[in-house]
Chains A and B, each alone.
Chain A
Amino acid sequence: MSLRPDLAIIAAHLPAGARALDIGCGDGELMAALRDDRGADVRGLELDPGNVAVAVGRGLSVIQGDADTDLAGYPDQSFDYAILSQTLQTARAPDRVLDELLRIGRYAFVSFPNFAHWRVRLSLLWGGRMPVTRLLPERWYDTPNIHHLTIDDFRAHLAERGVIVEGAWFLSGDKQTGGAAANFLAEHAIFLLRREQSKVDRG
């Protein structure tokens, strides 16, 4: 079983034996990989009960819940890593979800589709229609992605909040691409984040 490229990057950079929380874990694909390949102690949060049932059937510990409302129950710094893959743009309050991630985990992995990818820009510029692409396959009315963002939006937000970027990876057509022109060339971004030191100390 090969992982989705963004998940593979997260799996490759999670230290063996780490304690991780996968928020929006789906049917537990990444969790299973982290457990089996990295020996991680991993827990999940997932909205869809069918997905939870599949993940529980894999022997994973998954709680049905909503990233927007159910992260408050996790104690501060209770995980080494909090993971939010392809879920940020579906949150009602992505900024608060990000705050929660950095409160719950000492580090946070965040991955999201880049709305400033050139294909998306072209589609909107020339087609005049909301883009429907491989990574954004839904139409405007049925998409779960209610807070589209670009890599530059995210970078600016992190700078405003004083969040420290420990690492960043960018994907174009499942291949890694450089950071410089990522906002134009990358379909996908994965960030490894932590809070500024003073906040970590207080937490």
Chain B
Amino acid sequence: MLTTPSSLDQRFGLSRRVVLPGPLRLDGGALLAPVEIAYETYGTLAADGGNAMLVCHALTGDQHLASAHPRTGKPGWWQRMVGPGKPIDTDRYFVICTNVLGSCMGSTGPASTDPTTGRPYAMTFPVITIRDMVRAQALLLDHLGVARLMAVVGGSMGGMQALSWAATFPDRVEKCVVIASTARHSAQNIAFHEVGRQAVMADPNWRGGDYYDGDPPAAGLAVARMAAHITYLSEAGLTEKFGRRLQARAQKSFGFDADFQVESYLRHQGLAFTDRFDANSYLYITRALDYFDLAEEHGGLLANAFRGTATRFCLVSFDTDWLYPTAESRSIVHALMAAGAPASYVELSSPFGHDAFLLDSPELDRVIHGFLSAGR
């Protein structure tokens, strides 16, 4: 089906970008065109196209799955999982990772130029959904000549995309791996995101989103990141890492410096985040997450999302994850059971809360490697 060896095909490799003509009809009703997608591919697409896999990133992730981040220089966000000989083995699989629609690492988002005005979209960018992100990825797969995915894999928001893939394009997904995720945002999830969005919007530099010609609302975005970061960790993890220990001082200052190590850590996390992320993208992507309710898209019954599916599912949750707790994964599992879908599920133990899915976990490696390689 391919006439060019994939190693010579300009569509494949690191730091790729493509402008797809679109238009993409969004869940909110708007038409988006053009649709630019930044992505990376790893490994070689088999002649029959049967080894293609899509890995979906989380809220503030990007397409640099297993390659150095261009701005921070840090290793790819899932480098421990993806690569030659790794559980997601790029010697065997052709792995695609795209920057999601609405983000700020090269895919069309609020910082992109609106072709009708020649200025950044800012808040005129249409509100997008997880399913819109998935449909944009499907456009990219069409461009890459990938008709069917042997697997869609994702953690957190990536897991929501994986679920949405299985529900939206069941015939294009053979296996679906959903890690530390949920089929809908809870009131508590929405509440934390609203705190973050209000922090951004309260920053005077935000200026209704039209800040691209001046200073960005870094202070507000940093606070948003700080609040969100707490939800990625467990209380036990925070206690173990910081306790009540003071930051480079022998006693409390009786002031409002970062006396405690945990304060200093969060401030650093917030500040570092503003160097690599666009505040408006943060608003749009958190909105997409809050709108996510897979059951709602299927008549209120989650099982309907998977009725008659031939996709095989593997779900993993972590016992200390209170952002998307085990109960959320279990309710997905119950829906899969009700739909008669082949599903595996395991709750793994980790002290690290939601972040556990990104950290070293031999059990997670074993489950993912086993699930992906089974039957091949």
Contact = CB atoms under 8 A, between A and B. Distances in A.
A137 interface: no
B334 A73 contact: yes
A50 B363 contact: yes
Interface stretch (A53-61, A108-116, A122-130): A53-61
B337 A61 contact: no
B279 interface: no
Contact of A57 (B338, B347, B370): B370
How extensive is the interface on chain B, given as a class? 20 to 34
Nearest to A63: B345
Looking at A49, A53, A60, A65, which has the most chain B CB atoms within 10 Å of its CB? A53
A172 interface: no
Nearest to B363: A53
B349 interface: yes
B344 A60 contact: yes
A73 B337 contact: yes
A56 B340 contact: no
A50 B366 CA distance: 10
Given A61-B312, A75-B337, A75-B338, A53 B345 contact: no
Contacts, number: 69
B8 interface: no
Contact of B344 (A62, A70, A73, A75): A62
A195 interface: no
Contacts of B330: 65, 70
A49 B329 CA distance: 15
19 contacts: A52-B345, A52-B346, A56-B370, A56-B371, A57-B367, A57-B371, A59-B374, A59-B375, A61-B342, A61-B344, A62-B346, A63-B333, A63-B337, A64-B345, A65-B330, A73-B333, A73-B334, A73-B337, A73-B338
A202 to B, nearest CB: 20
Nearest to B331: A73
Contacts of B343: 43, 61, 63
A50 B371 CA distance: 14
A58 B343 CA distance: 14
